[in-house]
Amino acid sequence: MPIATPKQFAAMLDAAQQGGYAYPAINCTSIATLNAAMKAFADTKSDGIIQFSTGAGQFASGLNHKNSAFGVIVLAEAAHRLAEQYNVLIGLNTDHCPPDKVDSFMKPLIEATAKRRAKGEGNLFNNHMLDASNLPLDENMAISKEMMKLCAENEIVLEVEAGVVGGEEDGAAGSADTPEEKLYTTTEDMLTVYESLNELGRFTFAATFGNVHGHYKPGAVKLRPDILKQGQDAVMAKYGKGAEMDLVFHGGSGSLLSEIRETLGYGVVKMNIDTDAQYAFTRPIVDHMFKNYDGVVKIDGEIGNKKVYDPRSYIKKGEEAMAARVAEGCDNLLSVGKTLYGQV
Active site residues: 95
**SS3 at position 85:** coil
Rounded CA-CA distance 221/311 in Å is 36
312: number of Cβ within 10 Å = 10
**Quick check: 74 and 34 in contact, CB under 8 A?**
no
Which long-range CB contacts under 8 A does 253-256 form with residues at least 24 apart? Answer: 253/213, 253/214, 253/215, 253/216, 254/215, 254/216, 254/217, 254/218, 254/221, 255/221, 255/223, 256/218
**SS3 at position 158:** strand
* Strand ranges, E, within 63-104: 90-94
Amino acid at position 190, single letter: M
